[in-house]
A = this chain, B = another copy of it.
Amino acid sequence: VKDIVQPFVWRGGELCILDQRKLPGRETWIRARDAETVARAIETLAVRGAPAIGIAAGYGVALAALHSRATTDSVLRAIERLRRTRPTGYNLFHILDVMTQMVTMGRGNLGARVLKRAQQCHAEDVRACLAMARYGVSLLKNDERVLTYCNTGALATGGIGTALGVIKLGFSRGIVREVFACETRPVAQGARLTVWECAKSGIPVTLLCDNMVAALLQTGRVTRIFVGADRIARNGDTSNKIGTLQLALMAKRFAIPFHVAAPTTTFDKRLRTGKAIPIEERTPDEILKGVPGLARLKGVRVWNPAFDVTPGCLVTSYITEKGIKHPPFLF
């Protein structure tokens, strides 16, 4: 699997971030020269996907450390800033912890060693994606027709992706026949990004709305569901893009295997269950803006959680770079 898609590139002392808000219409890049620009790119979803957010934040720390007047304190402040961008995905906090250690305990030139560590995090994710893809493909039988959710591909990671990485490798080996991509409201990462990645890779993809899943599963056209994750608790409770919970419930109802693919940087070992995972609520505008006249109506509230928590008992298996974990789950 060769990927021509990357969510960011480190080049000439800056982080070039592909602005995913504009995809698939336009490919425009944000040139980040400081941590604040990276933080805003994360907040505004120019870069998204738990692993990609973590890696981008690592580069954000590197930008702070490479500043001509950088001090340990100024870099730690940048880390705190990046910590406040998005609350749910765990990879961000994992990598910021790693970077904090490198800033406070490392030796040698601050900028050089922090950048090196950020690049290592990136490279580790590239390898993790490949390993996950190989493990994930081992679960597949022939002629798989896979439903996926949100975007978990190259755009969401440093490498070929998590769930979509498995699917891509499976397709390249002739085991996956086609992909069903859920739109994934309100930001439409499925419709905009997964469909785009599949089209770029020549994978036959069928787009559907999030409310069509049960009807699709009822037809028998889907053999397997693969999703990614933003944070996983020790008992396997999995926070992922809003809608994953109902996907998992429907998979159970229709007896379709439901797999979660995520690198170990997504696992939060401090949490016994998913109850303590902070769920980000985003602006009503994400939902309102598509409908002319809606924002003007009085007395209208909007509920816009970006994630939900799927109980571990609904997950058939977890695919990590270290192997496949089957129930019962206790990480």
User: What residues of chain A have their CB less than 8 Å away from a CB belonging to chain B?
Assistant: 23-26, 180, 182-186, 188, 191-192, 195-196, 198-199, 202-216, 218, 242-243, 245-246, 249-250, 253, 287-288, 290-294, 296-305, 308
Contacts and interface: CB of A to CB of B under 8 A. Distances in A.
A205 B245 contact: no
B246 A301 contact: no
A206 B207 CA distance: 27
A151 to B, nearest CB: 13
A296 B206 CA distance: 14
Nearest to A253: B249
Contacts of A305: 212, 215
B26 A293 contact: yes
B246 A211 contact: yes
Contacts of A191: 287, 290-291, 294
Copies of this chain, complex-wide, total 2
A20 to B, nearest CB: 12
B207 A210 contact: no
Given A183-B185, A250-B249, A291-B188, A211 B297 contact: no
A296 B213 CA distance: 24
Contacts of A210: 185, 209-211
A247 to B, nearest CB: 8
Across the A-B interface, give the 3 residue pairs with the lowest CB-CB distance, nearest first. A211-B243, A25-B293, A214-B246
Given A196-B297, A199-B297, A301-B206, A215 B242 contact: yes
A207 B285 CA distance: 12
A299 B182 CA distance: 16
Given A209-B304, A290-B290, 12 more contacts: A184-B211, A192-B291, A196-B293, A198-B299, A202-B299, A203-B299, A204-B301, A207-B288, A207-B294, A212-B242, A215-B246, A215-B308
Contacts of A184: 211
A303 B208 CA distance: 5
A204 B302 CA distance: 11
Nearest to A293: B25
A303 B207 contact: yes
Contacts of A180: 303
Contacts of A212: 242-243, 303-305, 308
Which interface residue of A180, A202, A305 has the most chain B CB atoms within 10 A?
A305
A215 B302 CA distance: 14
23 contacts: A180-B303, A185-B185, A186-B209, A188-B290, A188-B291, A191-B287, A191-B291, A198-B300, A199-B298, A204-B301, A207-B287, A207-B288, A207-B300, A207-B303, A209-B242, A209-B304, A212-B304, A215-B246, A215-B305, A215-B308, A216-B303, A249-B249, A253-B253
A308 B218 contact: yes
Contacts of A303: 180, 206-208, 212, 216
